[in-house]
Chains A and B, each alone.
Chain A
Amino acid sequence: MGYIGCIFEQTLSYMKYKKKYQLIIILLISVLSFLSGLFLLIHTNLNAYIAKKNTGKTVIIYWDNNVDRSKVEEDLKKISSIKGVKIEKFYTPKDAIKILTQGSLPLITKYSQTNPKIISYTSVLAVDLKGMGLSNLIKRLKTYPGIKNIYYNPNKVDMYIRLNHVYKCIESVAIGLLVIITLVLFFLYYSVLKLTRIKECYILYITGASRTFLLVPFIFHGAILGLISAIIGLLFLWGSQYYLNYLFFTPPIWLKMDFLTPYGILMQSIFTVLLGIFGSCLAVKDISKKTFNKEI
């Protein structure tokens, strides 16, 4: 317990002195934490937004007049087994007559406009497929011999592909920028840490500190700084979320920014703490390399 207690005491001692430098370090890691959190926030919400834009696609299938009901049901069974495809409605020729004779005007208009055969087996599919999924589904449905006609809106497919393409471009640029900013800020953090602790590490080294005693309090200290920075970064992120909502939750975008999920918050915090630890390890290793004859 004595030795472990001393390690904790040493960690507290690191926290107690050189507070100005520690504030600079916390500021640097907080900015890093905030930026990575902002990226995660925008990434998650934009992905959800695009996915939402991609949902609610409707495909209507019309079978040939001569096809038996058993054949139609067999086709329906195959279609319903496709992932992302749900059979929303199914009309028999009798249902079609009923719609045409008793249905409301908009329904009649839509039905008669899209169904060239007027009276046939008809199914409305709710499709939730990303990217080229819808095109592939149409190609696949066209291979079924009984299906005579397929109705869908090709614009929706194009829009998704366009949106996704633009988003991927922006995302790549953002990742690149984030990596550069992370490297610069991380280098600053590690340099400040090294500068503030080099003398103390040297004194500990010449007074008989073991490598464990030199490394562990440094790592704990880095982890604590990382944790404080993670909390500050998340608080700033929380504030930014309100601003982003104010900015984007307006017509015609209606993009609502939800805050990170608990899992996202956890991942973000772990990332920041690891950043703190990694910086500490790197600093102490560098101090060791330059001053301690590479003993650590």
Chain B
Amino acid sequence: MGIKKIIKLKNIFHAFGSRVLFNNVNIWIERGSFVFLTGDSGSGKTTLLKILHGEISPLSGYVSIAGINFGPRNKGFMHNLRRKVTMIHQDFILLEDRSVEDNIVLPLRAMGISKTQRQKRLDIILRTLELTKIRKNRCNSLSGGEKQRVAIARAIIVNPLILLADEPTGNLDNRQTIRLIKILRHFNLHGTTIVFATHNPELKRHVENSRLIHIINSKIQEIG
């Protein structure tokens, strides 16, 4: 790919009605880095992740993710971006009436990957995230932690360049949180850039050489 700065946001302005979320925000994230994104509730963490995922277009400013510049001309090709940039949503967004494996392979099917290839990747992911035993279970019978791992598996299975995680530790205990960070760190060490939105800035100490970006009063503060 050869892109050192995989995420570039320049002079971003975004607001919902009269409520300004981002005012002249600039963010640069290098490839392979692990970035924690913190801020109070309603500060705009999810919105920023959705901007990075191409789900929301900022009202003004320049956005370039993995070499793809956002703009009206690229609107029809945004699916290419979402194959490189995946997101773990706060509420997982799983198909509750489908099995674990059906949920995980969905993005691969959308990419047109053959059944054999899908099966190979699925087996590896299920082993990595310890989901093999429940692979046939329907998602509506899973616990919160299991659902979270399914959501992670779905995001990871496409080998993304960037993984956006929206408060994935929201309903996990301390032990599960550390385990999740270890899993994400594992993929990070294999080259995936991770942007991890959380309330808890303390999590940074579990990941060496990570960055922490704080959103406060519609601005970005680089803490470390």
Binding site for B on A (CB under 8 A): 2-3, 5-6, 9-10, 13, 17-18, 199-200, 202-211, 213, 293-295
Contact across chains for A207 and B110 when beta carbons are under 8 A apart: yes
A293 to B106, CA, bound (A): 21
- CB-CB under 8 A from A203, the residues of chain B are 93-95, 106
B30 at interface, CB cutoff 8 A: no
A260 to B83, CA, bound (A): 51
- CB-CB under 8 A from B154, the residues of chain A are 207
Contact across chains for A2 and B114 when beta carbons are under 8 A apart: yes
B82 at interface, CB cutoff 8 A: yes
User: Contacts A203-B106, A293-B55, A295-B76: A208 and B95 contacting too (C-beta < 8 A)?
Assistant: no
- CB-CB under 8 A from B59, the residues of chain A are none
Given contacts A206-B82, A295-B78, 9 further A-B contacts (CB under 8 A): A6-B112, A17-B97, A204-B106, A206-B55, A207-B86, A207-B158, A208-B111, A210-B110, A294-B75
Q: Which chain A residue shows the least CB distance to B114?
A: A2
For A203, A294, A295, the residue with the greatest tally of chain B CB atoms inside 10 Å of its CB is: A203
Q: Which of B78-125 touch A at CB < 8 Å? A: 78-83, 86-87, 89, 93-95, 97-98, 102, 106-107, 109-115
Contact across chains for A209 and B79 when beta carbons are under 8 A apart: yes
**A199: contacting residue among B56, B79, B95, CB under 8 A:** B95
Q: Which chain A residue shows the least CB distance to B86?
A: A207
User: Contacts A206-B55, A208-B158: A9 and B112 contacting too (C-beta < 8 A)?
Assistant: no
Q: SS class of chain A's interface: helix, strand, loop or mixed?
A: helix
Contact across chains for A207 and B53 when beta carbons are under 8 A apart: no
- CB-CB under 8 A from A213, the residues of chain B are 110, 112
Q: Which of B104-161 touch A at CB < 8 Å? A: 106-107, 109-115, 154, 158
Contact across chains for B113 and A2 when beta carbons are under 8 A apart: yes
**A207: contacting residue among B57, B78, B102, B107, CB under 8 A:** B107
User: Contacts A295-B75, A295-B76: A206 and B114 contacting too (C-beta < 8 A)?
Assistant: no
- CB-CB under 8 A from A208, the residues of chain B are 79-83, 86, 107, 110-111, 158
What would be 5 A-B contacts, judged by CB atoms less than 8 Å apart?
A10-B109, A17-B97, A204-B106, A205-B82, A206-B87
Q: A201 to nearest B CB, angstroms?
A: 11
- CB-CB under 8 A from B114, the residues of chain A are 2, 5
A44 to B102, CA, bound (A): 50
A113 to B102, CA, bound (A): 89
Q: Which chain B residue shows the least CB distance to A9?
A: B109
Q: Which chain A residue shows the least CB distance to B116?
A: A2
Q: Which 4 A-B pairs have the closest CB atoms?
A: A3-B112, A207-B107, A209-B110, A208-B83
A158 to B137, CA, bound (A): 75
Q: A79 to nearest B CB, angstroms?
A: 68
A70 to B112, CA, bound (A): 83
Contact across chains for B93 and A199 when beta carbons are under 8 A apart: yes
- CB-CB under 8 A from B112, the residues of chain A are 2-3, 6, 213
Q: Which chain A residue shows the least CB distance to B82?
A: A208
Q: A69 to nearest B CB, angstroms?
A: 82
A10 to B95, CA, bound (A): 14
A166 to B98, CA, bound (A): 56
Q: Which chain A residue shows the least CB distance to B56?
A: A293
User: Contacts A293-B55, A293-B57: A204 and B76 contacting too (C-beta < 8 A)?
Assistant: no
A13 to B98, CA, bound (A): 10
- CB-CB under 8 A from A200, the residues of chain B are 95
Q: A209 to nearest B CB, angstroms?
A: 4
A24 to B65, CA, bound (A): 43
**A211: contacting residue among B79, B89, B93, CB under 8 A:** B79
**A210: contacting residue among B79, B89, B102, CB under 8 A:** B79
